[in-house]
Amino acid sequence: MPSARERPRLQLERLVQQLERDHPEWNARRFEAELEVLAPVVYGGWKDDTPESESRLRQVQRWRSGFRSPGLPTVHLPFRYLWPVGERQRHALEPGFDPGRARPRASHRVFLQNVSDEIVREVRARLGGKDVSYEPALAPKSFAMVRWTGNPDVRAAAIASGPHVRLPFPFRVEFAVAKGTRRASLDGELVLDSDDGWVSFVSSDGQSKEIE
């Protein structure tokens, strides 16, 4: 879990990412003003810790882009940190999660599960070459939704295809490990059934898993 010192900033970072999705046209000053409204106590503590306005604005810009560690090389690590799962699979691992009207052998929603024992940071997912989701930090064994509807080309391809056509989409997740000192990635293809939903993931090293 994030430390007591990290949690307030993670809360602000998450708010910035949510605002970025809804208001990409806003500048950094507008974002900062909105943080003061949405989370006045947390914002006040951050402002006390970061008294210079320009420093806060630079931090907001870093949160908007989801990039805190420039210059770190991306490495392919020898074991998994993240793996995509579907609604029924998440429910099996987290009984309190409501899978909704889950489809057999398919899932409308896709989640990234942190399968490691450490916090994974700066989790950015790209589907079909477009950024679709970002999480500032993902605790061990927890989940983050892949907001695939952020790429309208995916839905358009499903509508334009015939019934039950399998459509593969390039899927890349970049993230930081080892307390943010190393960058890593998960690469492969998410496969969509044009009628039922997401059905599988095939990693770049040939490992595959059904999504349901």
| Interval 107-160: pLDDT, tens | 999 999 998 888 899 999 999 999 999 999 999 889 999 999 999 999 999 899
Q: Name the strand (E) or helix (H) holding 32.
A: helix 28-38
What percentage of residues in the chain have a pLDDT greater than 70? 87
Predicted TM-score of the model (pTM): 0.63
Dihedral sign (CA 103, 104, 110, 114) = positive
Q: How confident is the model at residue 7 (pLDDT cuts 50, 70, 90)?
A: confident
* DSSP conformation letters of 76-117: --SS-SEEEE-HHHHHHH-TTS---SPPTT-BS-EEEEE-SS
pLDDT at 79: 47
Most confident of 8-12, 21-25, 53-57: 53-57
Alpha-carbon distance values, 32 to 19, 36, 191 (Å): 11, 7, 39
Q: Name the strand (E) or helix (H) holding 35.
A: helix 28-38
Structure tokens at 15: 């708010």
CA distance 192 to 118: 30
